[in-house]
Amino acid sequence: MTLEQDRDKGTCVDSDLPQQLRIGRQPLTHLGRVLDAAWPEEGCALLLGRRRHGLWSLERIWPCLNVWLPVEERQLRFALDPREQLLAQKWARSAGVEVLGSAHSHPCGEAMPSRIDRDLCFTPALMLIRGGGGELGCWWMEENDEPRPLEWKMED
């Protein structure tokens, strides 16, 4: 863990925690297609990229199957396929990137973590959620804490 001085506030901050997420145009488009393909169920994916001093950069999307059981509840719930998680971690190491977090959709809901999202999330974690209206929410999840919205920015 790296602590840096926040000059504006006079406090120390953990520079490994995300302060902003930058998303390339191509990964953002890919994420939208992955989540759309799962409709009307919740779609899900892993987020691969790099992190440097609080600035995290999303470079690739790793589509995952929603393996939530029972199948009838997949319109409101998701579970990442554990095999996909292992494959993504292995591939990321070989490509010099890392798994930054996960993304999923709320086909009929808002782009914010639901109570179930918070209860089932392994923290700390980065979570992107696309709501039914197409809006994208970016969240930092900590154990026993409210989700913290993160600023995100698309870059070319």
Beta bridge partners of 46: 62, 102
For 110, residues 6+ apart whose C-beta sits below 8 A from its C-beta are 131, 132, 135, 137
In a domain, 83, yes or no: yes
- Whether 9 is covered by a domain: the verdict is no
Omega before residue 40 within 30° of 0, cis: yes
- CB proximity list for 64: less than 8 A, separation 6 or greater: 44, 45, 46, 80, 81, 84, 85, 88
- Residue 12, domain member (yes or no): no
Q: Quick check: is 6 in a domain?
A: no
CATH code, domain with 140: 3.40.140.10
Number of domains in the chain: 1
105 within a domain of the structure (yes/no): yes
pLDDT for residue 80: 95
Token reading at 59: 């470079």
Structure tokens at 61: 């999307």
Query: For 104, how many CA atoms within 13 A lie in the half-sphere containing its CB?
Result: 29
What's the confidence (pLDDT) of residue 143? 86
Locus of tokens 């925690």: 17
Q: Could you read off the pLDDT of 99-118 as tens digits, one per residue? A: 999 999 999 999 999 999 99
In the block, tokens 């392994």 appear at 122
For residue 2, is it within any domain? no
The boundaries of the domain holding residue 90 are: 19-155
Per-residue pLDDT tens over the stretch 39-92: 999 999 999 999 988 899 999 999 999 999 999 999 999 999 999 999 999 999
Residue 10 lies in a domain: no
Q: Say yes or no to pLDDT of 12 above 80.
A: no
Q: Is residue 3 part of a domain?
A: no
Secondary structure of residue 95 in the 3-state scheme: helix
Q: What is the pLDDT of residues 17-29, one digit of tens each?
A: 889 999 999 999 9
Q: Give the pLDDT score at 156.
A: 78
